[in-house]
Amino acid sequence: MLTKMYLTNFLSFAERTEFDFTASKYSILRACNVYEDEFLKGAMLIGPNASGKSNALKGISFVVKMIKGEGMKISGYRCFFSKNPITTVEYEFVFNQKKVVYVIEYNVQTNTISEELKIDGILFLRRNGNTGELRIGQTVTIDEQLDGETLFLRTASFNTGRFPQEPTLRKLMDYIQNSYVVDGYNLGATYGKTITKYAEEFGVDKINKVLEDFKYDFVMEYGSESEGAGLKITIGSDQKAVFLKRRNFPIPNIIVNESQGNQVFADLLPNIIRVIENAGMLIIDEFGNSLHNRLAEKIIRFFMDNAAGSQIFITSHHTNLISNSVLRPDQVNLVTFEAMKGSAVKRISQFKPREAQNLEKMYLSGMFEGLPIYEEI
């Protein structure tokens, strides 16, 4: 799992910035929000608009998208107001008590990528420009024709069948491959596309179990028709759709005609189920968009209570999530923008609040950083 990340000259993070996902000494929510008494099950990024929250999340999703082949050109991640020609992303993961350090650099002047991956300090993978070297045991593989926009880690994983000879590397690749990136405002969380695809492949039994656990006033069906409360909707024998029906008033409604909130929630559920079943990261920008505050809380609590090896990383403007009953002080990251220094981040735990204090109230009163200030000019 991801324990630390460093961004340098990456989007709005001009200077080297640390993101710490290890647990501090707080005892609250330790049983449900912390793995092995050391690693956080995830984190929230909050701050003013245009402070860099989404850019920090793009740092986490960068490795996921690049490994899956879904990322934009690496040159597009460079901080546009920095004179530094090199963009650097550093990740620290821990799997089976082994520390994986993966560093990626892109030089805009030479248009070249450098990569280095070490496990417990031992070099396994190195790349300089178009040449990559993979060391597994006594076997050394050299590739001198690497693509300029594709990570060598992705190429090496594909060529080896996801590192069958090295269990820690295989664990890393499985973790990344089972990670999902969702833009809660624009992409992947509207119009019911995700839930429809999931229902077509797996049915809706697991979805309805989660809805029941949430005590949510809806059940889901997938088929060509749905009936309830004296109304029947048929879309044709050669077509299928997801239907939602209220438990207390079961009139069916096609997902595309549902409220945006129900569409967003329904589309989140498959990814929540996937990362709970198989270890990975769920990365959600604008989490809580179109969702009621209490439902947003419920989703985070559900993940923390049920995930057994996964992590969730979100940006959100729902200040009710800044609560010792939902997230620990070390799980809330306050993002600010400091002119030419770029974006900066601090965890609430750095301000040393007491466990009994109301963190949301303290944040909104300006006792921490990351609160927008709108003054008359």
pLDDT tens across 40-52, in order? 999 999 999 999 9
Considering 264, 298, 323, which residue would you say is the last residue of a domain? 264
pLDDT above 70 (res 376): no
Domain-embedded: residue 249: yes
Domains contained in the chain, number: 2
Quickly list H helices, the chain: 30-33, 53-68, 152-160, 167-177, 193-202, 205-214, 260-277, 293-306, 359-364
CATH code of the domain in which 329 resides:
3.40.50
Co-location of 202 and 241 in the same domain: yes
Nearest Cα neighbor of 115 from 99, 129, 135 is: 129
Nearest Cα neighbor of 242 from 180, 292, 183, 194 is: 194
Q: What is the DSSP letter of 162?
A: S
Domain-embedded: residue 371: no
Average pLDDT estimate for 222-236: 93
CA distance 269 to 263: 10
CA distance 112 to 129: 5
CA distance 172 to 159: 16
Q: Is the dihedral of CA 27, 33, 37, 43 positive or negative?
A: negative
Average pLDDT estimate for 53-69: 96
Co-location of 250 and 286 in the same domain: no
pLDDT above 60 (res 377): no
**Structural domain that includes position 49:** 2-179+280-364
pLDDT band (50, 70, 90) for residue 71: confident
Co-location of 174 and 212 in the same domain: no
Co-location of 244 and 349 in the same domain: no
pLDDT above 50 (res 231): yes
Considering 264, 290, 320, which residue would you say is the last residue of a domain? 264
Co-location of 109 and 35 in the same domain: yes
Co-location of 34 and 143 in the same domain: yes
**For the ranges 73-77, 181-185, 268-272, 306-310, which has the lowest average pLDDT?**
181-185
Rg, C-alpha atoms of the chain: 22
pLDDT band (50, 70, 90) for residue 302: very high
